[in-house]
Amino acid sequence: MRVLVTGGAGFIGSHYVRSLLAGEYPAFAGAEVVVLDLLTYAGTRTNLPADGHTFVHGDIRDPAVVGAAMAGTDVVVHFAAESHVDRSITGAADFVSTNVVGTQVLLQAALDAGVGRFVHVSTDEVYGSIDEGSWPETHPLEPNSPYSASKASSDLLARSYHRTHGLPVCITRCSNNYGPHQFPEKVIPLFVSNLLDGKKVPLYGDGLNVRDWLHVDDHCRGIQLVAEKGRDGEVYNIGGGTELTNRELTHRLVAAVGADESMIEKVADRLGHDRRYSVDWSKIADELGYAPRVPFERGLAETVEWYTANRDWWEPLKAR
């Protein structure tokens, strides 16, 4: 078996690769693993083991590079994406180019190569914002940021390649991920690293925006279940089961680092800031047996400990 992992040097992709190479996914034991990554600001080979895989430094928007990497592939797990909402607000072009055009290039190459399974990793942000309840997979896509709009577009392309060409595609949509090796522009590593450096942390608006938190290990296990047993053409939400306001999360992080509330700085709200995300993940639970295993309290404590112990990993990244 040959598995192509796009964006495999990033936060979630590298966790998937490390888990796969460590034997945590027995159905893929002994698989040849190929990582395709452009190594933009958020990707680093320090996230990956020194051996056990083939690394291809390349752009998913380049048909020649993608075609060569795709040859002989059985399963594609597509993580590669521009993913930071704030960056998409100040400059959307890279998000459209990478997330939409890059995904189309991959889908076409997978079709041409006769790939047996294409897992397209997406986000709950494509649904928009929800005041109460949780989104099922059938909810209309109502993205509110250039980032989420680009991901919704890529979801629709993935669906179209299944409907039009019969490409065996599955789409996953996850809630907010956290864990080690996350680039320090995202809220948890940004706040922890700031606090460790004695810097204040920025809390948007009134701090009452709500997110569901999902440990990266649980997310990757959910993706693997879809890769192994998901039904072609289906969408699967993957959630963590811990909803917190940004204010609640910030206070937990301040306490975990041993700081006080004077380190919280209220700042103007983000443009188009979605109020609440919440996915209904009963489908993947009922069909594939998924359930999150990492309790948020333990996962958050271990994440804070990891950033505390690995300053040499995140300091160079914050300096980029």
- Residues 297-308 have pLDDT tens digits of 999 999 999 999
- Cβ atoms 244, 39 nearer than 8 A: no
Domain count, the chain: 1
For residue 153, give the CATH number of its domain: 3.40.50.720
Q: Which residues of 56-86 are buried (b: 16+ CB within 10 A; e: fewer)?
A: bebbbbebebbeebbeebbbbbbbbbbbbbe
Residue 265's pLDDT is what? 96
In a domain, residue 189? The reply is no
Residue 287 included in any domain: no
pLDDT at 308: 97
Whether residue 223 lies inside any domain: the answer is yes
Using the Cα atoms of residue 78, residue 272, residue 234 and residue 240 in order, give the sign of their dihedral. positive
Chain centre to alpha carbon of residue 187? 14
Q: What angle do CA 69, 73, 78 make, to 5 degrees?
A: 75
Return the SS3 of 269.
coil
**In the chain, which residues have pLDDT < 70?**
none
**281 sits in which H/E element:** none
Q: Give me the domain span that covers residue 146.
A: 2-178+212-238
In a domain, 92, yes or no: yes
Q: Which amino acid is at 116?
A: G
Give residue 19's region: left, alpha or beta (phi > 0; psi -120 to 50): alpha
260 in any annotated domain: no
What pLDDT, in 10s, does the model give residues 114-171?
999 999 999 999 999 999 999 999 999 999 999 999 999 999 999 999 999 999 999 9
What is the SS3 assignment for 305?
Answer: helix
- The residues annotated as belonging to the active site are 124-125, 147
What percentage of residues in the chain have a pLDDT greater than 90?
Answer: 93
CA atoms within 13 A on the CB side of 180: 19
Instruction: Output the CA–CA distances (angstroms, integers) from residue 210 to 133, 205, 222, 242, 249, in the order listed.
Output: 12, 12, 22, 10, 10
Q: What is the pLDDT of residue 90?
A: 84
- Looking at residue 162, what is its pLDDT? 98
Backbone angles phi, psi at 99, to 5 degrees: -75, -35
**Is residue 250 assigned to a domain?**
no
280 in any annotated domain? no
d(CA 183, CA 206): 25
Residue 283's pLDDT is 98
Element (DSSP H or E) covering residue 47: none
Output the CA–CA distances (angstroms, integers) from residue 3 to 58, 62, 182, 250, 286, in the order listed: 16, 19, 23, 38, 26
295 falls within a domain: no
